Amino acid sequence: MTIRAIKMVLCVRTDLRMGIGKQCTQCAHGAVACVLSIATGRDRIKSLWLQEWLEEGSAKIVVRVESEKDLEDLADAAMKADLPHYTVHDAGRTEVAAGSATVVCIGPGPAQTVNTVTGKLKLL
């Protein structure tokens, strides 16, 4: 198998002022959901991306976004680029209101393609 750069980017809303632990939990929800959607799906290409990503060390990058609109725009861009993605909506048990969109997970996918969607975002 040819190894190429495959990565996942987790985009976290900063306007919600979530604590560090909450941000980590929301990112974990997004990462698990993306991986499970690929693992249980029938898209052969995305399954290969997942396999390569796991073999390469499962690169994950966490970036910041300023608003729910930013998250929606990123999810739309990921869909247009045919990248795996998942928007996390909080259950509302702790720090944020129920249903709040907190994180968009994009990938795993080819780094070059993921970068077209997330490359201008700043690290968290």
Q: What is the pTM of this model?
A: 0.94
Q: Could you tell me how far CA 113 lies from the centroid of its own chain?
A: 13
- With H, G, I as helix, E, B as strand and everything else as coil, classify residue 89: strand
Give me the pLDDT at residue 4, please: 63
**Candidates 1.10.3720.10, 3.65.10.10, 3.40.1490.10, 3.40.50.12280; CATH matching 6-118:** 3.40.1490.10
Alpha carbons 100 and 87: distance in angstroms, whole number: 10
Burial of residue 56, with CB atoms counted within 10 A of its CB: 0-12 exposed, 13-18 middle, 19 or more buried:
middle
Query: What are the domain boundaries of the chain?
Result: 6-118
Query: Which DSSP state fits 111?
Result: H
Q: What residues in the chain have per-residue pLDDT under 50?
A: 1-3
In this predicted model, what pLDDT tens digit does every residue of 47-66 receive, in sequence order? 999 999 999 999 999 999 99
Q: Which two tokens stand for residue 47?
A: 């399954």
